[in-house]
Amino acid sequence: MLSHKEPNTILSVDDSPDKAEIIALILQEAGYRVLSATSGQEGLEIAQREIPDLIISDVTMPKMDGFEFCRLIRADDRLRGIPIMLNTAIRKDTESLARGLAAGADDYLEAPFDPGRLAAKVARLIERKRTDEPLAVLASIVENSEEAIIGKLLDGTVTSWNFGAERIYGYKAEEVLGRSIYDLIIPPDRREEMQGILNGIGRGVRVNRFETRRVRKDGNLIDVSVSIAPIKDSHGRLTGASSIARDITEALSAEAERRRLIKELQDALAEVKTLHGILPICMHCKKIRDEEGAWKQLELYIRDHTHAEFSHGICGPCTEKMYPEIYEKIQRRKA
């Protein structure tokens, strides 16, 4: 069974019923689904509800003209990607054409409305939207990436600078575009490294992830992991290089701290002395025979073979045996 493809939806905004009907008939015969609005406000409400594939709007309308309507569409995050074609009944209206393009219109249609020309313009705009959408999505991903994505010419001139680059390096895009990357984020001792990489890019060499250092706007050095690739135009000609960098300063610091703690633990374990095996001990005096055959008091042997120290005291039974009179006094006090 063949799948049925839904027709593209076009919103026509025009306060003239006759002209609106003509446009609707032309587009319906071309296979489009047409929604109609008689004012800019109504058109805005329909656009927000239906999200059409294309909008055609009259220039001259009461209360909200086509220019204001176009600006409001472009200000709405959900609608700003919809192609807009403005139309006017005035022939060779260059002033309206300039104002419309400045307001964000994609195309302009003058009277009289030739059905073939109108349908061709609509088809072209819808096709352009379809082919541009993947690029727009990709551009949005690049722009909002947490990693610093920078485009540059092979001489180091910055051509693009995304949000991640602003966050990591501290510069706004308007501060760096057209300037040399060497004057911005490359430390003096890393300039030869960068020049060698760009020379390699010029020969078609792609540089995979490597760790290096960069300098922020505030002068602080940071550790980054960077990959650099050639940028080519639609004809395959090399035009520059793109770099993707991730700030690894905290990660390297955490790794260094982890290694320090491990070393301290290993050093501490190396110092630990343990007693193991069978120890020869005198059954009467309780002295222990050491490795050299000498008999040592128990506490001295343990002290020499561990980190333990002894604090000598006297237990109750020994006090009673060795000092009976003192022991009795202690017991009477307790009673």
CA dihedral 301, 302, 307, 313 (to 10 degrees): -110
DSSP state of 77: T
**Residues with Cβ within 8 Å of residue 219, at least 6 apart in sequence:** none
- Look at 49-58, 203-212, 250-259, 309-318 and tell me which has the smallest mean pLDDT: 309-318
Together in a domain, 231 and 321: no
Residue 59 has pLDDT above 50, yes or no: yes
Whats the size of the chain, residue-wise?
335
The answer to whether residue 103 sits within a structural domain is yes
* Residues 110 and 177 both lie in one domain: no
Q: Where residue 2 falls among pLDDT bands split at 50, 70, 90?
A: very low
Number of domains in the chain: 3
Ranked by mean pLDDT, which of 152-166, 212-226, 319-333 comes out on top?
212-226
99 located within any domain: yes
The predicted pLDDT at position 144 comes to 67
Q: Tell me the β-bridge partners of 110.
A: 88
- What pLDDT shows up at residue 191? 92
Q: What is the CATH number of the domain that holds 186?
A: 3.30.450.20
CATH number, domain of 30, equals 3.40.50.2300
Sign of CA dihedral 209, 212, 215, 216: positive
Lowest mean pLDDT among 91-95, 188-192, 305-309, 324-328: 91-95
Rounded mean pLDDT, 288-296: 83
Do 160 and 223 fall into the same domain? yes
Positive or negative: CA dihedral 124, 125, 127, 128: positive
Copy the structure tokens of residue 142: 């690049």
The reply to whether 155 falls in a domain is: yes
Calculate mean pLDDT across residues 318-323. Answer: 80
Domain match, 120 and 19 both: yes
Cis check for the bond before 324: say yes or no (omega within 30 of 0): no
Q: 158 phi and psi, to 5 degrees?
A: -75, 130
301 and 316: one domain? yes
In a domain, 42, yes or no: yes
Lowest mean pLDDT among 16-30, 131-145, 256-270: 131-145
| Least reliable range by pLDDT among 170-174, 240-244, 329-333 | 329-333
Domain range for residue 175? 148-251
- pLDDT score of 140 more than 80: no
Structure confidence at residue 33 (pLDDT): 93
Choice between 119 and 133, residue whose per-residue pLDDT is larger: 119
| CB distance 244 to 236 below 8 Å | no
Q: How far apart are CA 33 and CA 215, in angstroms?
A: 56
* 3-class DSSP state of 133: helix
In whole angstroms, what is the distance from residue 12 CA to residue 14 CA? 6
Extract the tokens encoding 163.
């949000």
User: Average per-residue pLDDT in the chain?
Assistant: 83
Compute CA distances 138 → 82, 145, 206, 335, whole Å: 17, 11, 21, 90
User: Structure pTM?
Assistant: 0.45
Q: State pLDDT tens for residues 154-206.
A: 899 998 888 889 999 999 988 988 899 999 999 999 999 999 988 888 887 78
Q: At a CB cut-off of 8 Å and minimum separation 6, what does 290 contact?
A: 296, 301, 304
Q: Residue type at 220?
A: N
pLDDT digits (tens, 9 = 90+) for 66-112: 899 999 998 888 888 889 988 877 666 667 777 877 788 888 887 66
pLDDT bracket for residue 9 (50, 70, 90): very high
Asked if residue 272 is part of any domain, the answer here is no
| Residue 267 within any structural domain of the chain | no
